[in-house]
């Protein structure tokens, strides 16, 4: 049996949120959505989704700032950046800050669905702590689980560098 996996969609355009939420929906994936980046951070802190899809250019807080906040809270989170304002420098910056992927708008729904499906499958295979292999370590409390997830996130960030 697979664990439940959740995704947070963030875009300041309600139409984009609806389109993304609808096109990314699949069995085994719970989707949260927000049009306000500050509210999205609150949802992230409360729900702790394993994945986030966020626009880059938004009012109030940029997608890059959202990425930084999410990586500060839980660096094991897979974050996909979307933007209509594509530059190589921005893509490189997003990846260095921990983004899992970067798509330009209008993103191909098929490619985005395929990428999210791969991340869902990967998340379902991960232990609840976020670590692939913690052989020899005993502990299943919430604090040790958080420690495992943060360590796994750092490791993933180092591997991307």
CATH code assigned at 115 = 3.40.50.2300
Mean pLDDT for the chain overall:
79
Same domain, 101 and 22: yes
Across the range 36-43, mean pLDDT stands at: 96
Same domain, 158 and 98: no
Same domain, 105 and 146: no
Q: What is the pLDDT of residue 64?
A: 92
Q: Which of 28-37, 95-104, 140-149 has the highest mean pLDDT?
A: 28-37
Question: 3-state class of 32 per DSSP?
Answer: strand
Confidence tier at 157 by pLDDT (50, 70, 90): low
Same domain, 27 and 72: yes
Same domain, 74 and 148: no
Structural domains of the chain, count: 2
Same domain, 19 and 55: yes
Confidence tier at 66 by pLDDT (50, 70, 90): very high
Same domain, 133 and 115: no
Q: What is the pLDDT of residue 132?
A: 46
Q: What is the pLDDT of residue 27?
A: 83
Q: What is the pLDDT of residue 113?
A: 84
Same domain, 107 and 145: no
- Cα–Cα distance between 95 and 106 in angstroms, integer? 20
Same domain, 112 and 143: no
Q: 93 vs 61, which has greater pLDDT? A: 61
Same domain, 110 and 46: yes
pLDDT at 138 > cutoff 60: no
Across the range 76-99, mean pLDDT stands at: 85
Host domain of residue 151: 129-161
Across the range 64-78, mean pLDDT stands at: 91
Encode 86-98: b = buried (16+ Cβ within 10 Å), e = exposed.
eeeebbeebbebb
Same domain, 32 and 92: yes
Q: Is the pTM of this model over 0.85?
A: no
Query: Could you tell me which of 67, 69, 7, 71 has the C-alpha nearest to residue 34?
Result: 7
Same domain, 9 and 30: yes
């Amino acid at each position: 049996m697979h664990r439940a996996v959740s995704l947070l969609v963030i875009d300041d355009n309600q139409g984009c949120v609806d389109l993304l939420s609808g096109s990314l929906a699949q069995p085994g994936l719970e989707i949260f959505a927000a049009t306000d980046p500050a509210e999205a951070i609150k949802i992230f802190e409360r729900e702790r989704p394993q994945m986030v899809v966020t626009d880059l250019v938004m009012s109030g807080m940029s997608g890059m700032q959202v990425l930084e906040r999410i990586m500060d809270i839980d660096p094991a989170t897979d974050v996909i950046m979307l933007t209509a304002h594509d530059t190589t420098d921005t893509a490189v910056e997003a990846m260095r800050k921990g983004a899992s992927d970067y798509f330009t708008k209008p993103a191909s729904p098929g490619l985005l669905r395929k990428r999210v499906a791969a991340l869902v499958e990967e998340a379902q295979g991960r232990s609840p702590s976020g670590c692939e292999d913690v052989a020899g370590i005993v502990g299943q409390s919430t604090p040790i689980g958080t420690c495992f997830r943060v360590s796994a996130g750092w490791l993933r960030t180092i591997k991307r560098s």
